[in-house]
Structures are given as C-alpha cells and as structure tokens.
C-alpha cells in the first residue's frame, strides 16, 4: 500500500578475520545455535520485556548465545524509571559497542532528562544521538548556569524546518538571550515555508516583532488554509511578505482545487507585484494541477508556460495530457521540449516510438525501440513485445568463496543479525546487519546477501543488490519462497502466481514486518480492516491485525483480496494492481473519464505518480517472476488486455516469450523508486529498486 541515522563506524571484524586461518575461523562459525536455544531465548526475552530478574532462570545455558546481551537490556529498559545509574553503567561497560547498549544509553538519557538529573545526564551523554537529546544536553548546560552561543549551539538545529518538543525550552532560552533576531527568525520561517511546515511558522510568528507578527501568521495560514487565505489576500497590502503568503496560498490551493485557484489568480495577479519567480511558481502549479484534472485547457496551459516556469513535472504532464488525447504530433512536440536527459527515460522513449508508429514513421520507431527492448523493465518489455523479440533478462550468479563465507559467519555482529532474524525480530536483525557490514566491500556484501538468502531472509538482497550489475542477481532479488505458499494460495484464489509474487515484491520487498503509515501490514501490505472482511468473505480464520505479520496468513488473505480486485476488473491484473494501490473507487473514476484508452496510455494518464510507477513495477516484476517460475514469460500484451476485455489466466496454450541475454547487456535502466512500506521504527528506509 502507499510506503535513521547512519550506524556508528566500528572496527571491522570481517577485515581482521581475513588474516585468520580457515580452521580457526571455521571453529568460530561452526557453533550454529540450535532450536532449543532459540526457544529458550524467546521465552527469556518475553520475560525480560516485563522487567525484573525473572528472565535469568529462563536464560540458564544461554550465556554464550549471541543474543544474550539483548535479554538484560530489555529488562533494564522496562525498569528505567526505577533505575539508578549503576546497572546502566555496568551494562554499558560490558557491551560498549553493541546496539542494545546504544539504545539503553539513549533511553536512560531520556529518562534522566525527564528527571532533570542534569549531572548524570552530562556524564553519560554523547553527541550525535538525535535532536531531542541534543536539546536536552543544551538544557543541562543551561541548568548548570551556562549560556548559549548561536553558532556553536543552535545553528545546526535552527536550519531544520521542525524540531522535537525537547527543543522548546532551549529556543525559549535563546529568545530570552536575544539570540533569535528578526533575520534569524525570518530565515527559519522561509525554510519552514519551503518545507510546508505551517505549524513551525505559526510558532515562530509569535516571536517576531509586533509589526511583523501578523504577516508571519498569514504565511502559516497560507499553508494551513489556502482557500480562506486567497479570499483574505484581496485586502492585503502589496508588500514582499504578503506577496509571499499569497503565492504560497495559490500554489497550495492549486493542488486541491485547481479551478478555485485559477479564479483567485485572476483576481490577485493584478493586485500584487509578484516577482517573475513567484508568478512562475503559481503558473506552474495551475498548469500541472489542471493537467492532473485533464481539463480542456490543460495542454495549452502547459505549452504556454514560460521557459523559466517549466519543471520536469510540467514537461512530463504535457506529454501525458497529449497522450490522453492521442494527439501524436503533440506527444512528439512535448517529448522534444524535454531536456535530453529527461528524454532518455524509458517511458518517453517508449511513447516517442508509439507516436512515431502512429504517424507511420515505423523505421524511426524501430530505431528507438531496438535498444529499449534490451532492457528488463516495463517499457523494455513493452518494446520487446512490439518488436516480437526476446525479453532482455540477463542473469548473473552470485560468486562463492568458502573461506570468506566462514569469516563472515564468525563476525559476531552478523551472527547476531542472523539469530535475530531466526527468532522473529527482523527490525533488530536489520540494524545488526547494517552495523556489521558498514563499509564492507561489494564482494563481502554479496556473500552476506547469499548467506541471508539461504536462511530465508530475502529482503537483504532487495535492499543490498540495488544498482549496476548487482540488479542482475535475479534468483536472490526475486525469490521463490515456496514455504510461504504463494503458488498454491494464488491458484486457490484464481490468480496468476507470478502476479501474486510481483505484488508482494512491490509492496514489501519481502519484509514480513513491513508496516505503512496507513497501518497496512506484512508481505502483501493488508489493512487489518480489509483483512477481516476478506477473511469473513472467504470463511478463513482471523486472529487480529498482528497475524498479518505471519507470512502464511498474510499471503492467504492477500491473494484472496487480489482475487477480489481481479474479479472486479474483468480479471485484468494491471487494473487490479492499480486498484490494490490507489483503491478501486479511484480506478473506477479514471475508467469513467478515460476508459477508452489503450492500456499503456491509460497507465500513463493515471493522476498519481505512485500508482503509475506501481503498476509499471508490478507488471515488470510479474514478467520476471513468470520467467523464474516457468523459464519463459507471458507477455505484457497478454497481461494487459484492453479495458473491457476479459483476461484469461495463463495456461499451457498461452504464448510465452523467451528471455535472452543480449550480446552486449543493456546498461542499467533508471531505477524505479519503490514505495516499500517502512516497518515501524525500522532503520534504513525504502530501497531504490529496479525491475532488473
């Protein structure tokens, strides 16, 4: 569904191990924990999270288990409000460089700040632990009689558009010291305006001189309530700051109600002496958001935009509107108006060829399509279908190196990462992985990915093998996880297994604990409210939202829901994919408006960038998964039937296209930006990922 700080640099155990003899390394790596130890750890960890020392009896025999330090840290964290300094210091001394030690230090510092125990806070504090603790450290300094210096203490924080509440006392003190001068306040207000942070502006406006306070409030209002602002602006003075507020309101309103914003612009453009840049921003917003509404005037607005007001987005929408009208000359003109680098995107090469073909310029079209057809992307696959050539899938096999693998398995950080994954703590596992491999060379990373892959930890390949030739490790990047039941559940749901795999891969990148801001959960990113209805409709057991983190449960319900979406749209996986991402109601609206378009043009005309890219990514992933499952792939032409035409599931009679490695493999296509849902509180965020 629509998806931290870099780890401290530590010594590299895997570098040191390179000099250790293979037998010694093998001895270190040989002690793979057993199932009994993992069961005991889970029981002890559950007890430790309740605080106290009850966990210790359950942890007998685990002293040498890689995750033993997590037990005491969990108990101490639970008991923080009752703890004095001694047990925390003792733990930090025993495990100075471990992630749970860093977390315990951070959490105890927050507790000390709550207590206002500034002496202990300062003796335990280390810089670089986040804005909240940075501000707590400044509070401690003030409590000890110190004063603030803007450049030394505040400038880095001041450059951020918003700050945690822990910074409020520090900013109040800075104001009392006279450090928050008018120019500094306005500089931060401007940064907040660029970031759309109306709340920050409203708070800062209270500190402006009396003569400026009202206009500061108007800037906040422009972001929070642009409709009311453009009405009020008719009575404002024509000053630089009021012009800024009017411009921000018009720009924001254009996103929500383009027609209303257009009317307001007609009234305000003569009242205010907008700068050329401000006029350009308003005109650009009006043109782009009239285009997303596909207004009759949209194409002409985009063509008429002054060169200085054009952006990649406005140039792109000029093509999309022309495509929606199937005005092929206008399509070519719009692509020609793009900068050369933008024209090289696979989407615009495909639609250039489409326009050339429609204008009976087939030879020119083939020259565009031939290199594009070598690329393993949505547009590359479309080009190969058009030319009737093999799909340009050129796999690589991960290298093996037994000695270096053994060295990696002796890396205590990587051992902890693999164990955390094995005991169902994937968020912590990812953190240990990142710290253990921070600064590792590409060969080491590939070996680590393969070790993770063999353990069923599939998301490591997606997030690590994400650029250049590494994109060609298809086995690891597009795993066939039979243990989770994708193929049988997809067939039970009446859908193509390769499509189910593709949806899962696009939704979560194989992170079973993925959770979106909208509370979509698990591998196929289901909302609990959706899942309960799907379970009821299909007579399946339902045991609550957290069950969606179980891959088997998630896939069973996710494939059923995909089946429902497919049924709603004549079985067409491309339309059902759009509905899975944007909601079936929105897809119905788009079909009512532009349902006569061919599939590729309809996808290009979807107003949501996320949904356009999602459909393209899923369709490309489905081709790759079909190839992984069957050795050949059902064509995109088969997967994308015309709107209103029934889709038939692939069977033994369905034409499938072979994949072949070009003599000279095509260069990496521009990467798709996955909208992978980030697990709550997870470190690193979404990866850049390509259908390669």
The per-residue b/e assignment along 124-141, b for 16 or more CB within 10 angstroms, e otherwise, is: bbeeebeebbbbbbbbbb
Q: Are 585 and 554 in contact (CB under 8 A)?
A: no
- From CA 81, how far away is CA 679, in angstroms rounded? 27
Q: Which H helix or E strand runs over 315?
A: helix 312-325
| Ramachandran angles phi, psi of 285, nearest 5° | -60, -45
Active site residues: 507
| Ramachandran angles phi, psi of 163, nearest 5° | -135, 155
Give the mean pLDDT of 78-92. 96
- The proportion of the chain whose per-residue pLDDT surpasses 70, expressed as a percent, equals 91
What was the pLDDT predicted at 2?
40
- From CA 590, how far away is CA 320, in angstroms rounded? 14
Confidence of residue 416 (pLDDT cuts 50, 70, 90): very high
- From CA 96, how far away is CA 93, in angstroms rounded? 5
Distance (Å) of CA 154 to CA 84, 168, 458, 506: 31, 12, 43, 41
Q: Cβ neighbours of residue 535 under 8 Å, at least 6 residues apart?
A: 541, 542, 557
Within 13 A of 281's CA, how many CA atoms are on the CB side? 16
Using alpha carbons, select from 558, 608, 675 the residue that is nearest to residue 2.
675
Q: What is the CA radius of gyration of the chain?
A: 29
Within 10 Å of residue 432's Cβ, how many Cβ atoms? 27
Model pLDDT for residues 357-413, shown as the tens digit of each residue = 999 999 999 999 999 999 999 999 999 999 999 999 999 999 889 999 999 999 999
Regarding beta strands 672-673 and 688-689, do their DSSP bridges make them parallel or antiparallel, or are they unpaired?
Answer: antiparallel
- From CA 212, how far away is CA 182, in angstroms rounded? 9
22 in the Ramachandran plot: left (φ > 0), alpha (ψ -120 to 50) or beta? alpha
314 CA to centre of own chain = 24
Report the chain's mean pLDDT, rounded to a whole number: 91
What was the pLDDT predicted at 662?
80
Burial bucket for residue 204 (CB in 10 Å: 0-12, 13-18, 19+): buried
Model pLDDT for residues 490-527, shown as the tens digit of each residue = 999 999 999 999 999 999 999 999 999 999 999 999 99
Using alpha carbons, select from 491, 459, 490 the residue that is nearest to residue 476.
459
- From CA 649, how far away is CA 495, in angstroms rounded? 7
- pLDDT at 604 > cutoff 50: yes
Model pLDDT for residues 288-333, shown as the tens digit of each residue = 999 999 999 999 999 999 999 999 999 999 999 999 999 999 999 9
What was the pLDDT predicted at 302?
97
With H, G, I as helix, E, B as strand and everything else as coil, classify residue 689. strand
DSSP state of 546: G
């Amino acid at each position: 569904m629509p998806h931290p700080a870099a780890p401290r640099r530590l010594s590299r155990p895997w570098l040191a191990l390179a000099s250790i003899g293979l037998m010694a390394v093998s001895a270190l790596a040989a002690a793979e924990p057993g199932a009994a130890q993992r069961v005991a750890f889970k029981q002890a960890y559950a007890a430790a999270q309740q605080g106290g020392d009850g966990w210790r009896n359950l942890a007998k025999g685990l002293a040498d288990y890689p995750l033993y330090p997590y037990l005491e840290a969990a108990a101490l964290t639970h008991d923080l409000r009752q703890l004095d300094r001694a047990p925390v210091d003792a733990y930090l001394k025993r495990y100075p460089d471990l992630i749970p030690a860093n977390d315990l230090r951070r959490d105890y510092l927050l507790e000390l700040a709550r207590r206002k125990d500034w002496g202990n806070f300062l003796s335990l504090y280390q810089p670089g632990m986040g804005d909240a603790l940075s501000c707590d450290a400044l509070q401690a300094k003030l409590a000890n009689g110190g004063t603030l210096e803007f450049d030394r203490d505040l400038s880095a924080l001041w450059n951020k558009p918003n700050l945690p509440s822990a910074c409020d006392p520090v900013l109040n003190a800075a104001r009392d010291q006279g450090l928050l001068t008018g120019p500094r306040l306005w500089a931060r207000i401007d940064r907040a305006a660029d970031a759309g942070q109306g709340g920050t502006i409203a708070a800062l406006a209270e500190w402006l001189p009396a003569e400026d306070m009202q206009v500061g409030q108007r800037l906040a209002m422009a972001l929070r309530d642009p409709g009311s602002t453009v009405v009020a602006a008719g009575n404002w003075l024509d000053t630089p700051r009021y012009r800024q507020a009017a411009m921000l309101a018009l720009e924001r309103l254009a996103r929500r109600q383009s027609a209303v914003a257009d009317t307001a612009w007609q009234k305000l453009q003569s009242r205010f002496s907008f700068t050329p840049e401000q006029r350009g921003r308003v005109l650009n917003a009006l043109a782009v958001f009239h285009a997303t509404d596909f207004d009759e005037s949209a194409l002409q607005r985009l063509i008429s935009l002054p060169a200085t007001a054009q952006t990649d987005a406005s140039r792109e929408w000029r093509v999309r509107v022309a495509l929606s009208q199937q005005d092929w000359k206008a399509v070519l003109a719009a692509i020609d108006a793009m900068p050369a680098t933008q024209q090289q995107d696979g989407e615009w090469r495909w639609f250039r060829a489409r326009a050339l073909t429609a204008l009976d310029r087939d030879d020119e079209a083939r020259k565009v399509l031939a290199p594009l057809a070598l690329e393993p992307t949505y547009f590359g696959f479309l080009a190969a279908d058009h030319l009737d050539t093999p799909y340009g899938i050129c796999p690589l096999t991960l290298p093996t190196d037994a000695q270096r693998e053994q060295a990696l398995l002796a890396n205590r950080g990587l051992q902890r990462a693999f164990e955390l994954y094995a005991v169902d703590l994937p968020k912590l596992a990812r953190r240990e992985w990142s710290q253990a491999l921070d600064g590792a060379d590409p060969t080491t990373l590939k070996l680590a990915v393969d070790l993770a892959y063999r353990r069923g930890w599939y998301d490591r390949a997606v997030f690590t093998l994400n650029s250049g030739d590494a994109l060609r490790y298809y086995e690891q990047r597009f795993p066939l996880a039979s243990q989770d039941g994708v193929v049988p559940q997809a067939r039970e749901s009446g859908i193509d297994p390769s499509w189910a795999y593709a949806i899962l891969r696009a939704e979560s990148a194989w992170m079973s604990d993925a959770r979106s801001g909208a509370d979509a959960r698990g591998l196929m990113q289901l909302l609990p409210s959706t899942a309960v209805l799907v379970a009821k409709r299909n007579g399946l057991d339902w045991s609550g939202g957290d069950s969606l983190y179980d891959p088997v449960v998630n896939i069973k319900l996710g494939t059923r829901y995909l089946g429902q979406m497919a049924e709603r749209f004549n079985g067409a996986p491309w339309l059902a994919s759009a509905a899975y991402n944007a909601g079936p109601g929105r897809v119905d609206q788009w079909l009512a408006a532009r349902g006569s378009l061919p599939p590729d043009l309809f996808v290009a005309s979807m107003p949501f960038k996320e949904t356009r890219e999602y459909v393209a990514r899923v369709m490309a992933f489905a081709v790759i998964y079909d190839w992984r499952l069957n050795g050949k792939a059902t064509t995109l032409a088969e997967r994308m039937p015309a709107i209103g035409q029934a889709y038939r599931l692939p069977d033994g009679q369905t034409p499938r296209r072979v994949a072949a490695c070009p003599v000279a493999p095509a260069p990496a296509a521009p990467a798709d930006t996955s909208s992978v849902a980030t697990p709550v509180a997870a470190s690193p965020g979404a990866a850049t990922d390509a259908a390669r």
